[in-house]
Structure 1
Amino acid sequence: MTGPVAADAGLAARPATPEDTGRAAAIRHALATVDAALAQRFDSDAQADIDRLLRARADAVDTQVRAAWRDCIADDAPLALFAVGGYGRGELFPQSDIDLLVLAEPDTQVAYAEALARFFALLWDAGLPLGHAVRSAAQCTQAAADITVLTAMLEARPLLADVPHLHALQAAVAPSQVWPAGAFFAAKREELRLRHARYDDTADNLEPNLKEGPGGLRDVQTLRWMALRIVGTGDLESLVAIGQFGADELTTLERERRALSRLRFGLHLVAGKREERLRFDYQKLLAERLGHVDNADNLAVEQMMQGFYRSAALVLRIGERLLQRFEEQIEGEATPVAINEAFELRRDYIAARDPDWPRNAHDVFALFAVWAAHDEIRGLHSQTARALAESLTRVPAFQQTEPALRERFLVLLRGPHPVHALERMARLGVLGRWIPAFSKVSGRMQFDLFHVYTVDQHTLAVLRNLARFASGIADQRFSIAHEVWPRLRKPELLLLAGLFHDIAKGRGGDHSELGGDDARIFCSMIGLSEADTALVEWLVRQHLLMSVTAQKQDITDPEVIHRFATKVADRERLDHLYLLTCADIAGTSPKLWNAWKDRLLADLYTTTRLALRRGLEHPVAGAERAAETRAAAQAMLTAFGIGDEEIAALYARMPEIGFQRGRPDQIAWQAASLRGAPVGETRVRARVVGEQGGARSSGERASALEVFVHSPDRDGLFAAIVATLDRLGLAIQQARVLDGPHATIFDTFEVVPIDPRCPPSVDEVERRLAEVLAGPLDLVRPARRAQPRHLKHFRIAPQIGFDNLADGRTLLSLVCTDRPGLLADVTRAIRSQALRVHDARIATFGERAEDVFQITAIDTDGRDRALDETQQQALRDALLACLEGDRR
Structure 2
Amino acid sequence: MTQASPSLPPLPRLPVAVPRSGVSGDARRALRQLLGDLDRAIAVAFRKGVDATDLARRRSDSVTRIVAHVWTACLGDVNDAALFAIGGFGRGLLFPYSDIDLLALVEQPDASRLRALEQCFATLWDTGLKVGHAVRDPMQCQALAAAEASVFTSLLDARRLAGDPALDARLRAIIDAPAMWPPHDYLAARLAERNARHARYDDTAYNLEPNLKDGPGGLRTLDSLRWLGKRLAHATDFPDMVTEGLLDPAECDNLLQAEATLRRYRFALHLEAGRPEERLLFDYQRGIAARLGFEDEHEKNLGVEQFMQGYYRAASQVERLGIQIAERFVEMLEPPSEAQAVGLDFIRYGARLAVRDPNLFMRRPAALVDIFIARLDQAGLIGFTADTMRRIHQATATLDGMLADDAQVLASFLQLLRHGAPAVDALWRMNRHGLLAAILPAFGKVFGRMQYDLFHVYTVDEHTLRVLRNVARFADPATQAEFPLACEVWPTLPRPEVLLLAALFHDIAKGRGGDHSTLGEEDARAFGHKLGLPQEDIERVAWLVRWHLLMSTTAQRQDITDPEVVHRFADIVGGRERLGQLYLLTIADIIGTSPRLWNAWKDRLLADLYTSTRYALRRDAKPSSGAAARARACREQALALLGSDGDDPAAVARLWDTFPMASFLRHRPEQIAWQTAEILHGQGKLPLIAVNPLSVRGSTELFVYVPDRDGLFANVTAMLDRLHFSVMEARVLSSPDGKAMDTFLLLEADTQKPASPERAEELQQRLHRALAQPAPIMPPRRSMSRHLKHFQMMPRIDFQHADGRTQMALVCSDRPGLLAAVAQVLMACEVRVHDARIATFGERVEDFFQLTDRRNAPLGETQQQRLWQALVERIGPQSLSA
TM over 0.5: yes
* Residue number in structure 1 paired with 2:837: 841
Map Cα deviations across residues 143-188 of structure 1 (whole Å, 9 max, x no partner): 2222222221221001114443112112234453543222221111
Contact 2:693 2:754 in 1 (8 A): no
Report what 1:65 is aligned to: 67
- Does residue 1:346 correspond to 2:349, yes or no? yes
* Aligned with 1:321 (options 310, 320, 324): 324
Task: Give the letter for the 1:366 counterpart.
Answer: D
Q: What is the letter of the counterpart of residue 350 of structure 1?
A: L
Determine which of 738, 741, 756 is the counterpart of 1:746. 741
Is structure 2 residue 546 aligned with structure 1 residue 554? no
Q: 2:720 aligns with which of 717, 725, 730?
A: 725
* Partner secondary structure for residue 731 of structure 1: strand
1:423 matched to 2:419 = no
1:134-283 aligned at under 5 Å gives the runs 134-144=135-145, 145-283=147-285
Q: Which amino acid aligns with 1:837?
A: V
- 1:717–1:777 contact (8 Å) kept in structure 2: no
Q: Distance in 2 between matches of 1:560 and 1:816?
A: 25
Superposed displacement of residue 866, structure 1:
0.8
Does residue 656 in structure 1 map to residue 648 in structure 2?
no
| 1:19-49 Cα distance to aligned partner (Å, 9 max, x none) | 533222222211222222222221112xx33
Distance of 2:823 and 2:408 partners within structure 1: 62
Change in Cα spacing, 1:496 to 1:853, as seen in structure 2 (3 Å) is: same
Q: Within the alignment, does 1:708 sit opposite 2:709 as a pair?
A: no
Displacement of 1:758 after TM fit?
Answer: 9.3
Q: What RMSD in Å do the two structures reach over aligned CA positions?
A: 2.2
Name the residue aligned to 2:33: 29
Give how far 1:504 is off: 0.7
Report the Cα offset of residue 713 of structure 1. Answer: 1.6
- TM-score for both structures, normalised by structure 1: 0.92
Aligned equivalent of 2:597, options 574, 592, 608: 592
Matched residue, 2:854: 858
Cα gap change, 1:101 to 1:216, in 2 (>3 Å): same
1:776 aligns with 2:750: no
Conserved 8 A contact 2:23-2:123: no
- 1:755 equivalent to 2:750? Answer yes
- Correspondence for 1:637: 642
Aligned residue number for residue 4 of structure 2: none
Structure 1 pair 134–763 and aligned structure 2 pair: CA distance change class (3 A): closer
Tell me: CA distance 1:450–1:398, structure 2 relative to 1, closer, same or farther (3 Å).
farther
Report the counterpart of residue 869 of structure 2 in structure 1. 877
Determine the structure 2 residue equivalent to 1:788: 785
Instruction: Identify if the C-alpha distance between structure 1 residues 441 and 726 changes in structure 2 by more than 3 Å, giving closer, same or farther.
Output: same
Q: Who is 2:375 aligned against?
A: 371
Does structure 2 conserve the Cα–Cα contact (< 8 Å) formed by 1:215 and 1:316? yes
Paired residue for 2:504, among 499, 502, 521?
499
Distance 2:352 2:86 in 1: 37
Q: What are the superposed Cα offsets for residues 61-95 of structure 1, whole Å, 9 maximum, x if unpaired?
A: 00100111111112135211111111001111110
User: Quick one: which amino acid aligns to residue 357 of structure 1?
Assistant: L
User: What are the superposed Cα offsets for residues 514-552 of structure 1, whole Å, 9 maximum, x if unpaired?
Assistant: 100111111122122222211111111111111111111
Structure-2 change in CA distance of 1:704 and 1:397 (3 Å): farther
Question: What's the CA shift for 1:489?
Answer: 2.3
- CA–CA distance in 1 between the matches of 2:128 and 2:637? 75
Cα displacement (A) at 1:882: 1.2
Question: Greater CA deviation, 498-507 or 747-756?
Answer: 747-756
Match of 1:613 in 2: 618
Q: Secondary structure at the match of 2:209?
A: coil
Q: TM-score, normalised by structure 2?
A: 0.93
> Per the alignment, in what secondary structure is the counterpart of residue 710 of structure 1?
strand
Give the Cα separation in 1 of the matches to 2:410 and 2:174: 60
- Deviation string for 1:474-533 (max 9, x for gaps)? 444435211222221212111111111111111111110110011111112212222221
Residue 345 of structure 1: how far off its partner (Å):
2.4
The SS at the match of 1:851 is strand
Secondary structure in structure 2 of the residue aligned to 1:587: helix
Which AA in structure 2 matches 1:569? G
Equivalent residue of 1:350, what SS?
A: strand
Query: Cα distance, 1:716 vs. partner?
Result: 1.8
Cα distance in 2 for residues equivalent to 1:369 and 1:526:
17
CA contact (8 A) 1:432 1:438 kept: yes
Size of the alignment, in residue pairs?
A: 854
Say yes or no: does 1:389 pair with 2:393: yes
Residue 355 (structure 2) pairs with residue 355 (structure 1)? no
Structure 2: which amino acid aligns with 1:790?
Answer: H
1:832-883 deviation line (CA, Å, top 9, x unaligned):
1222111111111121111111111122xxxx11111122122222212212
Asked if 1 retains the 8 angstrom alpha-carbon contact of 2:23 and 2:73, the reply is: no
Report what 2:684 is aligned to: 679
Residues 29, 127 of structure 2: 8 Å contact kept: yes
Q: Secondary structure at the match of 1:566?
A: helix
Q: State how far apart, in whole Å, the 2-side matches of 1:588 and 1:574 are.
A: 21
SS in 1 for 2:775: helix
**Pair 1:237–1:500, CA change in 2 (3 A):** same
Secondary structure of 2:737's match? helix
Distance 1:236 1:468, change over 3 A: same
Question: The residue matched to 1:513 in structure 2 has which SS?
Answer: helix
Unaligned runs of 5+ in 1: 1-16, 693-702
- Pick from 301, 314, 321: which aligns with 1:311? 314
Note the residue ranges of structure 2 that are not aligned, 5 or more in a row: 1-20
Which secondary structure does the structure 2 equivalent of 1:745 belong to?
strand
User: 2: distance between equivalents of 1:74 and 1:558?
Assistant: 90
**Residue 13 of structure 2 corresponds to which residue in structure 1?**
none
Structure-to-structure mapping, 1:422-501, within 5 angstroms: 422-501=427-506
CA deviation after TM superposition for structure 1 residue 614, in Å: 5.5
Contact 1:558/1:620 (<8 A) preserved: no
Separation in 2 of the partners of 1:477 and 1:709?
32
In 1: Cα distance, 2:673 partner to 2:136 partner: 76
2:682, 2:752 → 1: CA distance? 35
Inter-CA distance 335–50: structure 2 relative to 1 (3 Å threshold):
farther
State how far apart, in whole Å, the 2-side matches of 1:440 and 1:652 are: 62
Distance 2:53 2:511 in 1: 33
- Is the CA contact 1:716–1:777 (under 8 Å) kept in the aligned structure 2? no
- SS of 2:411 mapped into structure 1: helix
- Relative to structure 1, the CA distance from residue 102 to residue 473 in structure 2 (aligned partners, 3 Å threshold; closer, same or farther) is closer
Write the letter of the residue equivalent to 1:746: M
Superposition deviation, residue 792 in structure 1: 2.0
- Candidates 592, 601, 609, aligned match of 1:604: 609
Query: Do the aligned residues in 2 keep the contact of 1:268 with 1:275 (CA within 8 Å)?
Result: yes
Match of 2:107 in 1: 105
* Matched letter for residue 81 of structure 1: L
* Corresponding position of 1:8: none
CA–CA distance in structure 2, aligned partners of residues 67 and 589 of structure 1:
53
- The residue number in structure 1 matching 2:48 is 44
- Aligned-pair distance for 1:260? 0.6
Amino acid of the structure 1 residue aligned with 2:854: I
User: Contact conserved, 1:271 with 1:282, CA < 8 A, in 2?
Assistant: yes
Question: Which deviates more from structure 2 when the two are superposed, residues 517-526 or residues 345-354?
Answer: 345-354
1:799–1:816 Cα contact (<8 Å) kept: yes
Alpha-carbon deviation of 1:714?
Answer: 2.0
**Fraction of identical pairs, as percent:** 46
Greater displacement, 779-788 / 255-264: 779-788
1:360-381 Cα deviation digits (max 9, x unpaired)? 2211121111112236421222
Distance in 2, Cα, partners of 1:478 & 1:706: 23
